[in-house]
């Protein structure tokens, strides 16, 4: 498979020819469908856990890529929780950083309901 994007020294995404940085919209925007509930669903491939992945120079989990692009880095030792409970959602307003133990505890509570 031919790569269409690559990272350059600064971490910016460029097209493979390296002619210019790609915009966020070029990488993700055209593949996102905004739902009535505010979820941003990416038309990508789901992994075995139901998380959507895509290819941005390398395989990525789209919700992590969008969060890190629009909000900032994910703290070491933290995971992203989908507050909307839709694993396919990549709307950063629906994502929050939690420790793995907080995340497990939160999901344990929701399963008991």
Helix (H), strand (E), coil (C) string for 27-49 = HCHHHEEECCCCCEEECCEECCC
pLDDT band at 108 (very low <50, low <70, confident <90, very high): confident
Domain of 108, CATH number, reads 3.90.75
Whether the predicted pLDDT of 11 surpasses 60: no
Number of domains in the chain: 1
Q: What is the pLDDT of residues 72-107, one digit of tens each?
A: 899 999 999 999 999 889 999 999 999 999 999 988
Least confident of 24-33, 58-67, 71-80: 24-33
pLDDT band at 26 (very low <50, low <70, confident <90, very high): low
The reported pLDDT for the residue numbered 1 is 37
Contact 31, 54 (CB under 8 A): yes
Domain limits for position 49: 5-112
Q: Spell out a b/e string for 75-101, using b for 16 or more CB atoms within 10 Å of the CB, else e.
A: eeeebbbbebebebbbbbebbbbbeee
Range among 16-20, 25-29, 51-55, 105-109 with highest mean pLDDT value:
105-109
Q: How far apart are CA 39 and CA 77, in angstroms?
A: 25
Please tell me whether residue 35 adopts helix, strand or coil conformation: coil
Question: If residue 31 lies in a helix (H) or strand (E), which one and from where to where?
Answer: none
**pTM for this prediction:** 0.69
């Amino acid at each position: 498979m031919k790569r269409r994007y690559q990272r350059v020294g600064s971490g910016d995404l460029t097209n493979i020819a390296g002619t210019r940085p790609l915009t966020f919209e070029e990488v993700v925007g055209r593949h996102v469908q905004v739902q009535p509930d505010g979820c941003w669903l990416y038309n990508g491939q789901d992994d075995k856990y139901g998380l959507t992945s895509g290819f941005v120079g390398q395989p990525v989990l789209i919700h992590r890529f969008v969060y890190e692009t629009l909000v900032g880095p994910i703290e070491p030792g933290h995971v992203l929780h989908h507050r909307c409970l839709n694993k396919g959602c990549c709307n950063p307003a629906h994502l929050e950083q939690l420790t793995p133990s907080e995340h497990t505890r939160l999901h344990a509570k929701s399963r008991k309901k």
